[in-house]
Amino acid sequence: MLKLPIYLDYSATTPVDPRVAAKMIPWLTEHFGNPASRSHPFGWEADKAVEDARAEVAKLVNADPKEIIFTSGATESNNLAIKGAAHFYAATRGKHIVTVATEHKAVLDTVKELERQGFEATYLEPQSDGLITPEQLKAALRKDTVLASVMAVNNEIGVIQPIAELGEICREAGVIFHVDAAQATGKMPLDLAALKVDLMSFSAHKTYGPKGIGALYVRRKPRIRLEAQMHGGGHERGMRSGTLATHQIIGMGEAFRLAREEMAIENERIRMLRDRLLKGLQDIEETYVNGHIDNRVPHNLNVSFNFVEGESLIMAIKDIAVSSGSACTSASLEPSYVLRALGRSDELAHSSIRFTIGRFTTEEEIDFTIKLLHDKLGKLRELSPLWEMFKDGVDLESVQWAAH
């Protein structure tokens, strides 16, 4: 028996893996010490557990544990990386920032805040497949560019940006390179020993860890320095003060350990499910996949269904939990800014559905979803005058709509 609604929104958040939860709980109750307490074993054991978790986080991305700073999540990590580096290096390197129009709001809003403070920003427009090219970045860099921020994996369309090439360009130009990898961990290998990335943001709750915890990778060689955004007791080598949430950190460590050990096998299974979903939806007419189909994580399928109205579609498919746009902006009625940046029309942006598949998705759930979409789209289009016109061969682009 299927449990409804079926969760296909793993890019919004993931359940905490039961193995992760089991590891966290003792650190709420019997091992509850403050890791900063130096005078008793309650503190020492918490401190040791935090350091073990830090090592696990570092290991997933082939970094040194000393390069990992715990934060409250990827949004805070993005704020700390971008504002922290921009403020620290503005005087010596300049006040120009390069980012991409399809970044997460945590990056875009942070860059906008810096613009209000007198920084200048260039927003690269991706191609219609959602990717930017190394040449685009190269052309945007200036003498006074202090930082470039490009996400590894897009949260809405799942495309993978060419981080390795972009990193080479930044390193050569002496520009600090920040990567938001919130959607990448556990979905693709990340090797910070090879990548020329200076700062990288992580989140636990997108990778079967708990909410409320994330990390920022801060490179030591060559050393990157940051201006702290949260001041106090000097935790996290002065870069982020505040009592460390031991159980959450341990949860993140365990989640990242599982990701490292199981990623290869898990992603094959997820790819198979995604391909099954794609195949099942492709025989619906006027269906468009958003974003590059190969250069993306296997978890993501973002599809626009032409000739249906977005809100009606969402209402019709309540038995599946999906996003139309990203979770963080879905409360607004504006069409997805990511799809608009790809050049999709307002109509296609509005009628887009993001399916994101994860660890606990089953074949049965995918088959249910395919059938649901076929049924509901059929019904909605039956009611649609636009669909009727389209089927009658009317070129809708050429129709002159009368004003009311």
Which 213-232 positions form the footprint of other proteins (CB under 8 A)? 213, 229-232
Nearer to other proteins, 40 or 371 (CB): 40
Query: Near other proteins by CB under 8 A, which window of 15-23, 167-175, 291-299, 365-373?
Result: 15-23
Smallest separation (angstroms) from other proteins to the CB of 32: 4
CA gap 284, 303 in Å, rounded: 11
Give the number of residues in contact with other proteins, rule: CB under 8 A.
Answer: 74
Q: State yes or no: residue 107 binds other proteins (CB under 8 A).
A: yes
CA gap 261, 356 in Å, rounded: 21
The neighbouring-strand residues paired with 320 are 6
Identify the active-site residue in 314, 328, 386, 389: 328
Binder of other proteins out of 60, 69, 108, 188 (CB under 8 A) = 108
Identify whether the C-beta of residue 161 lies closer than 8 Å to the C-beta of residue 133.
no
CA gap 132, 165 in Å, rounded: 11
Residues 292-321, one symbol each (x = binds other proteins by CB under 8 A, - = not), give: ----------------------x---x--x
Smallest separation (angstroms) from other proteins to the CB of 383: 22
Smallest separation (angstroms) from other proteins to the CB of 136: 23
Binder of other proteins out of 327, 372, 386, 389 (CB under 8 A) = 327
Full 3-state SS string of 290-349: CCCCCCECCCEEEEEECCCCHHHHHHHCCCEECECCCCCCCCCCCCCHHHHHCCCCHHHH
Binder of other proteins out of 66, 112, 220, 225 (CB under 8 A) = 112
Smallest separation (angstroms) from other proteins to the CB of 74: 8
Binder of other proteins out of 59, 62, 72, 133 (CB under 8 A) = 72
| Contacts to other proteins from residues 267-286, by CB under 8 A | none
Binder of other proteins out of 59, 142, 196, 235 (CB under 8 A) = 235
Task: Please name which of 82, 60, 86 lies closest in space to residue 71, comparing C-alpha atoms.
Answer: 82
Smallest separation (angstroms) from other proteins to the CB of 16: 4
Binder of other proteins out of 65, 88, 101, 105 (CB under 8 A) = 105
Q: State yes or no: residue 26 binds other proteins (CB under 8 A).
A: no
**Helix 41-60 and helix 246-282: axis angle, to 10°?**
30
CA gap 226, 240 in Å, rounded: 10
Nearer to other proteins, 11 or 267 (CB): 11
Residues 177-206, one symbol each (x = binds other proteins by CB under 8 A, - = not), give: --------------------------x-x-
Nearer to other proteins, 314 or 372 (CB): 314
Give Rg (Cα) of the chain: 23
Nearer to other proteins, 5 or 174 (CB): 5
Identify whether the C-beta of residue 217 lies closer than 8 Å to the C-beta of residue 202.
yes
Nearer to other proteins, 192 or 308 (CB): 308
Smallest separation (angstroms) from other proteins to the CB of 216: 13
Pairing type for strands 68-71 and 214-218 reads antiparallel
Distances (CA, A) of 331 to 181, 258, 277, 324, 362: 24, 33, 26, 10, 28
Pairing type for strands 320-321 and 96-100 reads unpaired
Extended beta strands in 80-213, E state: 96-100, 120-124, 145-149, 176-180, 199-203
Based on the residue annotation, tell me whether 328 is a catalytic residue of this protein.
yes
Identify whether the C-beta of residue 198 lies closer than 8 Å to the C-beta of residue 178.
yes
Query: Near other proteins by CB under 8 A, which window of 72-80, 118-126, 164-172, 333-341?
Result: 72-80
Smallest separation (angstroms) from other proteins to the CB of 13: 4
For residue 308, what is the DSSP state? S
Q: Which ranges constitute the DSSP H helices of 61-162?
A: 74-93, 105-116, 134-140
Backbone φ and ψ of 178, nearest 5°: -110, 140
Catalytic residue positions?
A: 328
